[in-house]
A and B are shown apart, each in its own frame.
Chain A
């Protein structure tokens, strides 16, 4: 089973269409994903090598129910235990894994669940990632908010009670340049206690600048750690360079960021292997930078504008739950974020087991918070969404639902020092 990702925009010129088809069908027309582009900083790091060594050795069919039982009996989950928990042999142990995960979550986070909201400020993108709604060949309403519009969106969000914001852009160095993102961070500091970024990977000095502008968390999704699959999915643009993307979190920490986030987009490749690599990415970076805060997300593929057929394939809710429980048992100290890609019932349930952070009041479009939050139709235009969300609860609804589950919603647990 495979998703059909290739959609031709009828407005594309013949030449553009020919180029698109060429890179889609002819691997030799594509660049080497291991080769850095000019201006990309290379840092000395053995983290990716450590992760890839484990990934290459991992044969999840080798694990047996006995290995899973042994893993669950250990006080501390080793890398091999984690591999067993991610394997198909662990599927019948899901309830036991959930019980253990809940205990570990309780030890480190008690009964708290953090709330945040994403704010997309631009959706221009120079990459061709075939599964993403923002990809450069997808015919969508493009938009970049002006500083006034950004501030207006922030006011609307802050008025709803939200104190943590995650700002996102498409990956366009020309439309969303460093200064633009930096100014947006400065504005965000006025309205929010905690400012995170999910933008294109950059060099250490750039991260340092954005930290000084007020951002303190950087999230970069590797999408898939499988380099062969990565090459087939990211056909054009800066994002094509796999190792530069891999080292983003390390460069962000070197630039002074307090915390970094990681994820594989489940459904793109073999999810068990991607889950292993994601967690090991965290594990090795934490050993190298023990002071840095780390968090994991676990997005699954969603339908996009112009392609509503995209699904996460073999990653059902049970599989996602297995991954999340395994993450929690292996890395009890990390934050785990579950986004609005998942349903309300899944998010309510997983918050009691492993998740520590969930988004609320979400829009993945550009400039549409006022219409979504207040029902008031603005006179300005709006940009299209990156993907369809599944859980559209507002902050107030989410707050009440989480409280109703016996958990304590937390809007802020952070000081910029």
Chain B
């Protein structure tokens, strides 16, 4: 288990829980990171670099990898500009691409996401694209130079869990990059299930922000994600869909 690292763009992480930071009190960020055992935290570039008393960067504990996102971008070009700004602000080379042309459901624009991934990967960014789970798009993102694929479980903020389960499973089965399930995970049990399926990590924000006790919920997610990962590594036992299993094989009559 100790050798089980999450590797993104050549960087190793022990934790498989990526935290969002945008929806709750900045004063809770440190406690959330600690109780979640998180090593990566996202940061909306549009929220960063504000005045002294408001600088979200000051609240993020040292040693935690920043994952700036491009929220607010409506096109690939805008995402690229925001990513470059993040780099200038000293946020490092990681970038999570979020491109939305829909303010109602905030569903990602897959086509623009591929374009932005291609440009930013060429510029040396470690690109983590948020996407709607589509196998062809995931393959295009791999070819464009993505470091991970981040399919949504259900609409962002909805806490509805794995509405796209079948399609995420296909990505897990077919894509060699880490599949990080992002958006819509509302409960630790849903996070655990995604990890059992073989997801490489879980990203959550609203589920924590809307919990009664944020640090406690962060710890619950941490434990669920570890449990799910262990179950995946252990190999889930077979589940019989109907009837019992005869101890005498049906083919026992065959000779030789």
Contact = CB atoms under 8 A, between A and B. Distances in A.
Q: Choose among A111, A163, A414, A415 the residue with the greatest number of B CB atoms under 10 Å from its CB.
A: A415
Contacts of A407: 25
Interface of B: 22-26, 44-47, 50-51, 53-54, 72-74, 78, 81-82, 85, 100-106, 157-159, 205-206, 209-210
Nearest to B44: A413
B205 A110 contact: yes
Given A111-B209, A408-B25, A415-B72, A291 B47 contact: no
Name the prevailing secondary structure of the B interface residues. Answer: loop
A414 B72 CA distance: 7
B54 A333 contact: no
A75 to B, nearest CB: 9
Name the prevailing secondary structure of the A interface residues. Answer: loop
Interface in A279-327: 286, 290-294
A412 B50 contact: yes
Contact of B25 (A111, A163, A293): A111
Q: What class of interface size applies to chain A in its complex with B?
A: 20 to 34
B25 A333 contact: no
B46 A286 contact: no
Interface of A: 103, 106-112, 161, 163, 193, 286, 290-294, 333, 403, 406-408, 410-415, 417
Give me the 5 closest cross-chain CB pairs, A-B, nearest first: A110-B23, A110-B209, A106-B210, A107-B157, A291-B101
A174 B45 CA distance: 40
Nearest to B26: A408
Contacts of A290: 101-104
Contacts of B25: 111, 403, 406-408
A286 B81 CA distance: 26
A417 B78 contact: yes
A292 B101 CA distance: 8
A417 B82 contact: yes
A417 B54 CA distance: 22
Contact of A411 (B54, B78, B101): B54
A161 B159 CA distance: 34
Contacts of B50: 163, 193, 411-412
B158 A107 contact: yes
Contact of A161 (B44, B51, B158): B51
